[in-house]
Every structure is written in C-alpha cells, then in structure tokens.
Chains A and B, each alone.
Chain A
C-alpha cells in the first residue's frame, strides 16, 4: 500500500510538470504512401495526409487522415484453416478498409510543448477510439528534453461470432529523457508501461484439434507490459551518422523480447542522404502457448497465432532523403520540400504455427514508405 501511495504521489508531481517529444511542431503538410506485403498473403496499402498548421504563435492544429486497405485484419471466422492452393478466396483475397482519423492541438511556447488529441477508426469488424496527450519540456539550453505521453484507447470488436466481451482497451504511458552528450552525440532513454484489457486475441484465429473439434484463440483478459529502450546517435565523421537502438520488453504473459536496431546515414550531397539499417528481434513464448497438437476443447487459453510463441525476426532496409537543388527537383524551394523513400525486407524464423496458418515455413515481407514533406 505504501508503495502504491508513493507511486501515486510521484505521478501527481510529474504529470503537470513533465514532458516527451524533443522536437518543435511543424508548420507543414505531408503526403504519405505506405505498403506492406508478405508471402502469407497479407497486404496493407495505406495512403494518408498529415497536416500540422500553425494557428497562432503558440498554437498548432494537427490532423492525420487516410485509408488503410488490409487483407489480414478482417478475415471471416473460419472453422477450417484455409486450403493451401486457394489463391483467390483465401485470407489475402478480400480487401477490407479501415478509415483512421486523428486530430490534435499543440501548444508550444518557449521550452514547453503540450499536445492533446483523439483518434477514431472504423472498419467492419473493429471500431477504434483513443485519446492521447504528450508534454515535453526542454531545459539546460536545449541540452535536455524530458517527456511524458499517455494514450488510452476504448475499442470494440464487431465480430462474426459471440465473444466473452466485445470490449478492448489499451493504455500506454511513455516517459523519456533526451540528453545531448557532445556536439556530435545524443542519447535518449524511454520507459513504457502498457496495459491491455478485454478480448485480446484475434476473433478469427481458430484451430482444428486432433478430435476434429474447432476451437478459437483465447488469451487472458488482462495484460501488463513494460518496455525499456535506449537510443544513441553519433556523428562518425561529417557526412556519416550512426544510430543504435536497444529495447527490452517483458509482460505478465511471460513474453520477453530483445530488439536491436542499427542504422547508418550518409550525406552523399547537399540534396541526398542515403541510409542503411539492420534490425534483429527475438522473443520468448507466452505461458499458455503449447504445441498445436496438444490443445483440446477443454483448454480455456488457446494460442494459434505464432506471435504468442518463441521466434526471431530480421529486417534489412535502405532509405533516401532528397532535397531539391539541381536537376529534376530544382523547381522546389530547398528549405520547404523534402522527399523521403524507404524499403525494408522483413523475415521471421521458421515456425509450425506459421506453417499451419499461412502455409509457409516463415513469413517474409516487404514494407515501403514514400513521403513528401512540404513546409508552409
């Protein structure tokens, strides 16, 4: 009890005073096209427009609106796994659409930035709603930035079958400290507390047991997770920078994970920066995950999704940031226009649940982003 009171007091002291995002808000617009596709017939095509408009010297209005065309999130509940040779009617054959909208207001004055807003998304099987807020305080002649961000979602499934509850909510609290170490080095520490409640499995994940009974995925109705991350950026020489990132995650479902990310950026010319990245991820299994052959209709907790099991993944990618100077972009103002391109290849380790669900040993996909930034 004493610890809870102490934590509550600290939260009350910190929330009114403290911050997360170290950078000033933009006065501009971005057009973004994102794509993800993999050998499991999952596709995400997501064009969007992001606006951050300066209203007064201190207030900015932000909006993000888009359309996500998805084949993986809205499968119909199926009592049998999709046949391996079904090219048109399988999971990847039916696009559904999500319409996400975010609105936020930012107050930025001197060393303080406060942002608050809301998010709403609609798709035929899921309604997403969330409120979020973030506060950043810059101090020590902009050498230090402290941040706090909080978001709370109040979502609802619209399932094809009866669920124990249609509700799903998630809360996240992010605390960060950003510190400049030298004119060429900076570091950022972040702690995240994640809390989820409601029906947390995918309603469509099903399994045929050895007794030919169909059972559906079912997870505990609560989940508490914590993540600790550190980022480090250093200038190796004038045109090249090195980015290192490590994250440790753990939750009360016994999932532990390590994520390592390394990126190199090199300024080839005043109008072109190219980047390379490698990311490695590994996780352990949830306490209720077991071999698919061992599940029976009497099991209360069932995991079909490979994400509840131990596996690894690798990502390699390349990127480019172009600013207009000479050539085909010379008609644009170099201080206002930026084109950003990225392409990454993602692959998991082999897993029997991937084989059962997607009819392939491992998932291998590509995701790309094309973004055009224009500052007013």
Chain B
C-alpha cells in the first residue's frame, strides 16, 4: 500500500504543485531533436511490444512501461 501511495503521490505533487514554470526547460522552438526517431523513448515500438511479450514468457517480472496488457496467460 505504501508503494501504491508513493506511486500516486509523485505525479500528484507535480501536477498540483505550483512548479509549472520551473518545469519549462525547453521552448517550443528548441524541440527539433525530440521529433527525431532516435530521441523517442521507444524508437522501435513494434520491437518493444513483442519483446514485452517474450520477456513475460521467459521471466517472472512485468510492468514499468506505460502500455496496455492483454490476456495471454503467459506470465
């Protein structure tokens, strides 16, 4: 339960706190690099989706990525 509350608290604090000005580190005209494939968190999203499935078959852990999980009975 503690970890659940901690997990919820972090985005809650960021969202409700008055720190939005300090979080603007990049102006819109400085975002060209983030439009490039190599700067995305998942440049190969199809590989990421498939390997998530493979690792659920081969390992006992899961989670840690913001994605959908369908039922396959693998885990």
A residues at B contact (CB < 8 Å)? 3-4, 6-7, 10-11, 13-14, 17-18, 20-23, 30, 32, 34, 36, 42, 44, 46, 72-73, 98, 100, 102, 117, 119, 121, 126, 128-130, 132, 134, 137, 139-144, 146-149, 151, 153-155, 157, 168-170, 172, 174-184, 186, 188-194, 196, 202, 225-229, 231, 233, 235, 240-241, 243, 247, 249, 255, 257, 259, 265-267, 273, 275, 281, 283, 286, 307-308, 313, 315, 319, 321, 338, 340, 342, 344, 346, 348, 363, 365, 367, 369, 371
Residues on the B chain within 8 Å of A307, using CB: 58-60
Are A190 and B41 neighbours in the complex by a CB distance under 8 Å?
no
Nearest CB to that of B4 among chain A residues?
A193
Are B38 and A7 neighbours in the complex by a CB distance under 8 Å?
no
Are A319 and B28 neighbours in the complex by a CB distance under 8 Å?
no
Number of interface residues of B (CB under 8 A): 59
Are A128 and B25 neighbours in the complex by a CB distance under 8 Å?
no
| Bound-complex Cα distance A230 to B50 (A) | 20
Residue interface bits B44-75, CB-to-A below 8 A is 1, else 0:
10110011011101111111111111111111
Shortest Cβ distance from residue B40 to the other chain A in the assembled complex, whole angstroms: 7
Q: How many A-B residue pairs have CB under 8 A?
A: 267
Are A3 and B5 neighbours in the complex by a CB distance under 8 Å?
yes
The listed residue (B24, B63, B72) touching A121 by CB distance below 8 A is: B72
| Bound-complex Cα distance A344 to B51 (A) | 9
Are A313 and B8 neighbours in the complex by a CB distance under 8 Å?
no
| Bound-complex Cα distance A79 to B69 (A) | 32
Are B60 and A151 neighbours in the complex by a CB distance under 8 Å?
no
| Bound-complex Cα distance A144 to B60 (A) | 32
Residues on the A chain within 8 Å of B14, using CB: 144, 146, 177
The listed residue (B6, B31, B65, B68) touching A190 by CB distance below 8 A is: B65
The listed residue (B15, B34, B61, B69) touching A151 by CB distance below 8 A is: B69
Known: A126-B72, A182-B25. A191 touches B7 (CB 8 A): yes
Nearest CB to that of B23 among chain A residues?
A140
Are B74 and A73 neighbours in the complex by a CB distance under 8 Å?
yes
Are A143 and B70 neighbours in the complex by a CB distance under 8 Å?
no
Nearest CB to that of A100 among chain B residues?
B70
10 tightest Cβ-Cβ pairs between the two chains A and B: A192-B63, A227-B63, A229-B64, A191-B7, A128-B71, A153-B71, A119-B70, A265-B38, A155-B71, A247-B64
The listed residue (B1, B63, B67, B72) touching A128 by CB distance below 8 A is: B72
Shortest Cβ distance from residue B35 to the other chain A in the assembled complex, whole angstroms: 11
Residues on the B chain within 8 Å of A149, using CB: 66-68
Known: A153-B69, A249-B64. A179 touches B28 (CB 8 A): no
Known: A134-B68, A143-B23. A340 touches B50 (CB 8 A): no
Are A191 and B10 neighbours in the complex by a CB distance under 8 Å?
yes
Nearest CB to that of A149 among chain B residues?
B66
Are B20 and A229 neighbours in the complex by a CB distance under 8 Å?
no
Shortest Cβ distance from residue A38 to the other chain B in the assembled complex, whole angstroms: 9
| Bound-complex Cα distance A134 to B67 (A) | 8
